[in-house]
Structure 1
Amino acid sequence: MEQRNSRLLQLLAECAAKMLAASDPRQMIDYLFDRVREELSIDVYFHYLVDGTGGLRLEGSGGLTPEQIELGRRLEFGQAVCGVVARDREPCLAENVLASTDPMTAFIRAVGLDSYACTPLIHGETLIGTLGFGRRAAVPFTDVELQFLRTMCSYVAVARNRLDVQAEMMATIQAHETLAAEQAHLIERLSAQPASSDLSMIAHEIAQPLSAASNYIVVVQRALEGLGGAEGLIELSQARVEIDRCSQIVSRMRRLLQSGEINAEFATVRLLFEDALRMVLAARPDAGSVVSLDIGEGVGDILGDRIQLVQVIANLLRNSIEATQGAADPVITMRARGAGDWIEIAVEDNGRGFVSGILPEPGISTTGGSGVGLSVVKRILAAHDSEMVLDPSAERGARISFRLMRREALIGEEPASSARSGEPAALKQD
């Protein structure tokens, strides 16, 4: 017994080292199966991954016929042994399967297994999938063997998460580099055409989400100095969101500049605020403590271009952050209030304000920037039949607001019908 335990410990160490250095997840599991099948008399393995639609897809297997593989291609949570393990996030041992009539074991019984041990693959709070091993012989797994398999599965979860994070990071970095090259090309064109305010607007707006994406990627790269973690995938997901936002900004800004039209849809004000705040804080995390949201009762959806309205709010928020630099007690509020058929959205701060009491002309900056941001805001709001309003009554700082039509005012009217059905409506700039 001691000799076998020693062999299992040595085998565990060898497999763990191999898995943690693996570059291909399928080869990693196949290697594990080949190494343990003889020592543990294993005939079959099933490796499932969560597919994102409430089920499991078969990622890899061993010891099965093509027909058996096809039979187990996908499982719902709670279906068969692996589905139950995924649902409950607890290991499961099925024994005397061939003599059983339990519906849960029907699938592995059809494969000819008499004992089956399945373990959930969990990293942190994230369920990655399941990994199960089966025997056709009527020989139950011992406690030592079960402990060995479950320990091995914990290593698989760590290795699998690392590979997933690395793959996602490489795809994200590649997409980021492609968009960065596009941005550089736009800036080059802008330098060659100094009078092109349209190119200036596009380049300016691309820079914002690209900056956010860059910061998310840096966080993940630092995390991967260790083994990575589920939080790395979250950060990469945010980076991909910002990169996708870049692509949408380019296409929608071009449409706006060429035809004056926007993609109109119903958008929730709170989500607009949260998206804008998330994008700005990715580049300026230190500003999070000074920004607050104040959304009035009954403020819900407005009609407008969600992507471009997030840009509007982000630009105003960024200007407020710049304006409050050096303030003793900086305060910035993103506010929304209902006003009849309209919703008023405002960004307020207690910064240095506008000395002249009026908004600067396009291309003129009061914060040390290029002055393009407010030009973008004016252009987008004009396409929404709206405009920026600077509150002259503010005793200190600045309050810039604009109004958009609320959803309730449009229900039952023809102009909103296409937007309600999920098809984009077109608003055109006069």
Structure 2
Amino acid sequence: MEQDKDRLLELLAECAAKMLAASDPRRMIDYLFDRVREELRIDVYFHYLVDGDSALRLEGSGGLTPAQIELGQRLAFGQAVCGVVARDRVPCLAENVLASSDPMTEFIRAVGLDSYACTPLIHGETLIGTLGFGRRAPEPFSAAELQFLRTICSYVGVARNRLDVQAEMMATIQAHETLAAEQAGLIERLMIQSAGADLTMIAHEIAQPLSAASNYIVVVQRALEGVRGTAGLAELSHARAEIDRCSQIVVRMRRLLQSGEINAEFADVRLLLEDALRMVVAGRPEAESIVAVHVDAGVGDILGDRIQLVQVVANLLRNAIQAAPADNAPHVTMRARAAGDWIEISIEDNGPGFSSEALPQPGVSTTGGSGVGLSVVKRILAAHDSDVHLGRAVGGGACISFRLLRRDAFAGDESVGERALVRPD
């Protein structure tokens, strides 16, 4: 017995080292199966990955016929042994399966297994999938063998997460580089075809999400040293979203500048404000602690170009944060309230306020910036049949607001969200 345990420990160390150095997820599991199948007398393995909110997709298997593989391609959470393990997130051992009539073991019984040990693959709080090993011979797994398999599965979870993070990281960096090349080409064409003011406007708007994406990528690059896992994937997801936003901004800004058209769609006001805040926080982390979001109950959706309206709010929010007193309890509030057929969105700060009731002239900034941001805001809002209004915030400071059409104003005409709104020059 001691010899068996020593051998399993040696095998564990060997497999763990291979898992943590692997570069291909499928080959990693295939290697594991080939390495332990004779040692532990294993005939079959099933490797599932989470697919959606409540399903598993067969990622890899061994010891099965093509028909058996097809039979187990997809499982719902709670279906069969692997589905139950995914749902409950706890290991499961099924024994004497061939003599059982339990519906849960029907699938592995059809494969001819008599003993089956399945373990959830978890990293942090995230369920990655499941990994199960089965025997056709009527020989149950020993306690030492079960411990070995479950320990190996924990290494597989760590290794799989590392590979997922690295793959997403490389895809994000590649997308970032591709966009940078496209941006360079676009600017070159615009320098020939467009007025300088239009070029400056587009470059200004592209710079914001690109900066946010770069910041997210830097965070993940540092985090990969400790393999942060779930947090790293979340940062990469934000980076990919900002890069995608850049591409959409280029297309939509050119359309707006050339024809005055916007892409009209129904958009949730709260999500719009939170999206803008997230983009600002990526470049100014301190904003998260000084910005509050208040959306009145029942406000609902607005009609407009969501991508461009996020830019509007982000520009105004960034200005408000710059105007708030950095050394004296800075505070900024974004609000949304219903006003008839319109929704009023306002951004208030506790800074010195505006010196006049008029917006600064294009190219003039009151916050130390380029002055382009407010020009972009006015251009986009004009295309939405809206404009910026200046006022005083409660308790002092500035309040800048604008109105957008409510979804309720189009009751019975849902198709309006799919049409482009055209504004005259």
TM-score range (shorter-chain normalised) is over 0.9
SS of 1:319's partner is helix
Match of residue 428 from structure 1: 422
Q: Does residue 218 of the first structure (1) align with residue 215 of the second (2)?
A: no
Q: Where does 1:53-64 land on structure 2 (aligned, <5 Å)?
A: 54-64=54-64
SS at match of 2:264: strand
Which amino acid in 1 is paired with 2:272? L
1:417 counterpart = 2:414: yes
Work out the CA distance in 2 between the residues paired with 1:187 and 1:396. 42
Cα offset for 1:190? 6.4
How far the C-alpha of 1:329 sits from its partner, in A, is 2.3
Residue 23 of structure 1 corresponds to 23
Q: Distance in 2 between matches of 1:371 and 1:194?
A: 20
* Partner of residue 157, structure 1: 157
Distance in 1 between the 2:39 and 2:275 partners? Answer: 54
Question: Structure 1-normalised TM-score?
Answer: 0.94
**Which residue does the alignment assign to 1:269?**
269
In the alignment, which residue of structure 1 is the partner of 2:342?
A: 342
Range that drifts further, 63-72 or 319-328: 319-328
- Cα distance, 1:187–1:323 mapped onto 2, change above 3 Å: farther
Partner residue in 1 for 2:39: 39
Q: Is 1:209 the equivalent of 2:209?
A: yes
Please, which moves more after superposition, 310-319 or 177-186? 177-186
- Separation (CA, whole Å) in 1 of partners of 2:393 and 2:145: 76
Task: Report the Cα offset of residue 356 of structure 1.
Answer: 3.7
Contact map agreement 1:220 1:236 (CA 8 A) in 2: yes
Tell me the SS of whatever aligns to 1:391.
Answer: strand
Amino acid at match of 1:95: E
After superposition, the C-alpha distances for 1:101-140 in whole angstroms (9 at most, x for unaligned) are 1121111111111111011101111110000001111000
- Residue 32 of structure 1 and its aligned partner are, at CA, apart by 0.7
1:351 partner SS: coil
Instruction: Please give the per-residue CA displacement for 1:385-417, whole angstroms capped at 9, x wherever unaligned.
Output: 0001112687843211111111222213xxx43
Instruction: Output the CA distance in 2 between the equivalents of 1:226 and 1:164.
Output: 14
CA distance in 2, matches of 1:8, 1:395: 71
State the Cα deviation string for residues 54-91 of structure 1 (Å, max 9, x = none): 21111111111112111111111111111111111111
How far the C-alpha of 1:187 sits from its partner, in A, is 4.9
Which runs of 5 or more residues in structure 2 are unaligned? none
Per the alignment, in what secondary structure is the counterpart of residue 236 of structure 2?
helix
Partner of 1:382: 382
What are the within-5 Å matches in structure 2 for residues 18-417 of structure 1? 18-52=18-52, 54-187=54-187, 195-324=195-324, 326-391=326-391, 396-412=396-412, 416-417=413-414
Q: Which moved more, 1:5-14 or 1:346-355?
A: 346-355
The farther-off stretch of 345-354 and 368-377 is 345-354
Contact 2:191 2:199 in 1 (8 A): no
| Identical columns (%) | 78
Contact 1:115 1:134 in 2 (8 A): yes
Compute the displacement of 1:208 (Å): 0.9
Counterparts of 1:21 and 1:309, CA distance in 2: 45
Cα-Cα RMSD: 1.8
Q: Work out whether residues 393 and 399 of structure 2, in 8 Å CA contact, stay in contact via their aligned partners in 1.
A: no
Give the distance between the partners of 2:393 and 2:291, measured in 1 at CA: 21
On the 8 A contact 1:362/1:374 being kept in 2, the answer is yes
